[in-house]
């Protein structure tokens, strides 16, 4: 169980990070050497797959194994407050009772299933002492695969009864899974879906790690032990070799994204609204083309 005072400090830092408050940058700069020790498990899948209930079960199980667990549950942005609607947290009663730190965060219009600041939110939980962090994405579709740039292990959750999931998603979200779970496996069609997922894995590109396909019913706690064991197996596989290179590649990607954003902001300040408006007017009037306009603005 986490102490209340560090929890309040972490909650304040999380709020600063979400709000892009300059105090967050100063705090992270001062404490950066103390971050990076957490193992991140991403949980993604379509809406209605039962991700929150599953994360609740896995977090309780992990805490029972001696881990200090944190959960970031990414919720859709509220159209009224601009914050998270808190639906995920309400379904994680078991984890809350075990003292697991749970934070619902809003997407704030960011695409990809996460928020723009999720990486730093994970770092804040690491400062709190969390050695294991679950990140649950919003209901994700075929292209919402940003979690793979954050998680050390990615769990893709599917559920029977949502149509031909494999055909609709095999070219996207299924390819990022290190573990494929069929939740609500007490429903008709679960066995067939599990077989389709297994076939999709076997027909996919060869990988060093072959993602297992397991059936669970999170609301009943069925299959959680096997799912946790599969996560542990994947972690052991990663730590035996690929993890360091994988994290380096993800860090390079993150720095590249941030550099692009910084250079874009700096360049836009240099260009100014007047020059941008003038260029837009010339393109709209067909006195110039957009390609030439971009070249002039960029140089």
Domain presence at residue 102: yes
Residue 247 lies in a domain: no
Look up the domain containing 293 and give its range.
252-298
118-122, 124-128, 173-177: segment of lowest average pLDDT: 173-177
pLDDT over 70 (residue 80) = no
Q: Return the beta strands (E) in 100-246 as ranges.
A: 101-106, 132-136, 153-158, 179-182, 213-215
Mean pLDDT of 112-136: 85
pLDDT band at 84 (very low <50, low <70, confident <90, very high): very low
pLDDT tens-digit readout, 200-233: 888 877 889 999 999 999 999 999 999 999 999 9
* Structural domain contains residue 246: no
Are 182 and 213 within 8 A, CB to CB? yes
Determine the average pLDDT of the residues in 178-188: 95
Which residue in 55, 37, 14 sits closest to 247, CA to CA? 37
Query: What does the pLDDT read at residue 168?
Result: 44
From 195, 214, 240, give the residue that closes a domain.
240
Whole-number CA gyration radius for the chain: 21
Q: What is the DSSP letter of 76?
A: P
pLDDT in tens, 194-206: 998 888 888 877 8
Query: Residues 246, 152: contact at Cβ < 8 Å?
Result: yes
What's the pLDDT band for 111 if we cut at 50, 70, 90?
very low
Judge if 28 and 161 occupy the same domain: yes
Same structural domain, 203 and 286: no
Residues 221 and 278 in one domain: no
- 137 and 53 in a single domain? The answer is yes
For the whole model, what pTM was predicted?
A: 0.86
Closest by CA position to 36, among listed 118, 130, 167, 173: 130
More confident residue, 99 or 141: 99
pLDDT at 115 over 80: no
Residue 112, pLDDT score: 45
Domain count, the chain: 2
Per-residue pLDDT tens digits for 3-36: 556 678 878 898 899 888 999 999 999 999 999 9
Q: Do residues 167 and 256 both lie within one domain?
A: no
């Amino acid at each position: 169980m986490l102490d209340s005072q560090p929890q309040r400090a972490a909650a304040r830092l999380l709020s600063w990070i979400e709000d892009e408050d300059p105090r967050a940058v100063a705090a992270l700069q001062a404490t950066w050497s103390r971050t990076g020790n957490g193992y991140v498990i991403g949980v993604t899948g379509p809406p209605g797959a039962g991700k929150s209930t599953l994360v609740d079960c896995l977090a309780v199980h992990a805490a029972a194994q001696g881990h200090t667990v944190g959960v970031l549950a990414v919720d859709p942005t509220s159209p009224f407050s601009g914050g998270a609607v808190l639906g995920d947290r309400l379904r994680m009663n078991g984890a809350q009772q075990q003292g697991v730190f749970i934070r619902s965060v809003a997407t704030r219009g960011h695409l990809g299933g996460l928020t723009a600041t999720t990486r730093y939110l994970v770092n804040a939980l690491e400062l709190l002492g969390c050695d294991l962090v679950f990140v649950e994405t919003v209901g994700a579709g075929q292209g919402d695969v940003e979690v793979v740039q954050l998680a050390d292990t990615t769990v893709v959750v599917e559920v029977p009864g949502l149509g031909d999931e494999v055909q609709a998603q095999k070219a996207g979200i299924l390819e990022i899974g290190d573990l494929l779970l069929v939740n609500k496996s007490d429903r008709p069609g679960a066995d067939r879906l599990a077989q389709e997922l297994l076939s999709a894995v076997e027909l996919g590109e060869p990988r060093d790690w072959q993602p297992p396909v397991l059936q669970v019913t999170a609301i009943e706690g069925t299959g959680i032990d096997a799912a946790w064991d599969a996560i542990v197996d994947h972690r052991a596989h990663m730590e035996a070799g690929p993890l360091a290179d994988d994290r380096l590649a993800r860090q390079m990607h993150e720095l590249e994204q941030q550099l692009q954003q910084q250079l874009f902001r700096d360049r836009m300040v240099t260009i100014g609204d007047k020059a941008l408006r003038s260029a837009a007017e010339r393109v709209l009037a067909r006195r110039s083309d957009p390609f030439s306009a971009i070249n002039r603005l960029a140089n």
